[in-house]
Structures are given as structure tokens and as C-alpha cells.
Amino acid sequence: MARLTIKGISKSFGATYAVRDVSLDVEDGELVCLLGPSGSGKSTLLRMIGGFERPTAGSILIDAKDVTSLPPEKRPTGMVFQSHALWTHMDVFNNIAFGLKLRRLPKAEIKERVEQALALVGLADYGRRITTQLSGGQQQRVALARSLVLEPKILLLDEPFASLDQHLRERLREEVRDIQQRLGITTLFVTHGQDEALALADRIVVLRDGYTEQIAPPDRIYREP
């Protein structure tokens, strides 16, 4: 759990302003959706929070600590991308264990934490499976477990279910909401689907051309008639 403070961040790529002067406070344990059409700056904003892009201006604080110039691995954030990029030469267990092994944790602890993470995403018996044999939804669950096992303070999800069919997307959305509430983890979820944001979010940030057009809880979001 952590509090996130974004102060006037902007990002330009040459002449293109992807994000313009966005400020936002996210409370401990809150789930905020970043909503907007393609090209509105959602992904760039999320990537700046995760440390994958450097803001052109402004700052990012996590629990009052300025992380603006820290690389992703030095931030207490975990990111899940639209395309999961699981390692195909490792089984599910080792995909999830990878980051813990880098941290040289004891084997028994790694095993325990990976098993907990697998159970959390509903894949308790899948540790020895080859990732290419999993369905798209299962692969995204593994990607989520791989991120959660490192116990990030803030979870960043970039359209994690966009490539799945609607039925599965709705189910995984509910699962994420459930996991998020159980862990009480501060979460930012990027989506271009208004229904998805309305179903998931404590608060919605509507982006347009890099600006924040609205910041409000779902029941107070103005919807185009």
C-alpha cells in the first residue's frame, strides 16, 4: 500500500505532447482507472509512474519520496503490460520466481511466495506448465502473479486484458478487483473502455490529448449522451 502523488507531469516526444501538466493524488489502497481514447496519453502516464519513461517536467512521489529519476527496478511499483511477455523457455513457476531469484532469496521462501502468488490468481496447480500451452487469460494471470510476487506497493496495469474476448475480460476484471481489495494494493488501471472503468474504479481519470479532462468517482463521471 502506498500513496502516489503526481505533480504537474508532462512528456513530449519531439513536437508531440503525450501528457500535459497532469496532477493527481492516489490514496492508499485506491483503484484509479486512466480512461481515454487511443493516443490520449494513458500509457505514457502509466509508464512514467513505473519509471519506463522520464517526464519532461514535473515530479512523481510515492509515500512522499521523490522517485522521478529512479529506474523501474528501484521503484516500489509492479507493471503488467498488455502483452504479457512471459519467458517461453521457463515454466510458470520459474517465470514467477525469476525476480525473487535475482534478489537471492532462500529457496524455501521463493517456493512459498510463488505458490501464494499462483493461488492468488487461481492457478495453484499450474507451476510446472509451459507458458505457451496456457490460454491467453491464464497467461495474463501468470503475468499478474509475476508482478505481485515482488510485493509492489503500487500495481500498474496497462490494458492487461485488451487482447482477450469480452466474457473473459469481464471475468478477469472481477478477479483483479477482488485481488486488489484483498491485498489493499494501490492500483492504476489503464483502459479505453468506459464500461471497464465504470465497473472497476474507485475514481476515474479521463484523459484527452494528454490533459486530464475529468477526475471523479464513477457515479460522478460525465458521460457523453
Nearer to ligand ADP among residue 137 and residue 160 (C-beta): 160
Write down the least CB distance from residue 41 to ligand ADP, Å. Answer: 4
Write down the least CB distance from residue 85 to ligand ADP, Å. Answer: 4
Write down the least CB distance from residue 36 to ligand ADP, Å. Answer: 5
Nearer to ligand ADP among residue 88 and residue 182 (C-beta): 88
Write down the least CB distance from residue 141 to ligand ADP, Å. Answer: 14
Residue ranges in contact with ligand ADP by CB under 6 A: 13, 16, 18, 36, 38-44, 72, 79, 85, 87-88, 146
How many CB atoms sit inside 10 A of residue 101's CB? 11
Nearer to ligand ADP among residue 31 and residue 48 (C-beta): 48
Nearer to ligand ADP among residue 42 and residue 141 (C-beta): 42
Map the chain to HEC letters: CCCEEEEEEEEEECCEEEEEEEEEEECCCCEEEEECCCCCCHHHHHHHHHCCCCCCEEEEEECCEECCCCCHHHCCEEEECCCCCCCCCCEHHHHHHHHHHHCCCCHHHHHHHHHHHHHHCCCCCCCCCEHHHCCHHHHHHHHHHHHHCCCCCEEEEECCCCCCCHHHHHHHHHHHHHHHHHHCCEEEEEECCHHHHHHHCCEEEEEECCEEEEEECHHHCCCCC
Write down the least CB distance from residue 144 to ligand ADP, Å. Answer: 11
Nearer to ligand ADP among residue 83 and residue 116 (C-beta): 83
For 187, residues 6+ apart whose C-beta sits below 8 A from its C-beta are: 30, 31, 32, 154, 155, 156, 157, 180
Nearer to ligand ADP among residue 102 and residue 174 (C-beta): 102
Write down the least CB distance from residue 171 to ligand ADP, Å. Answer: 23
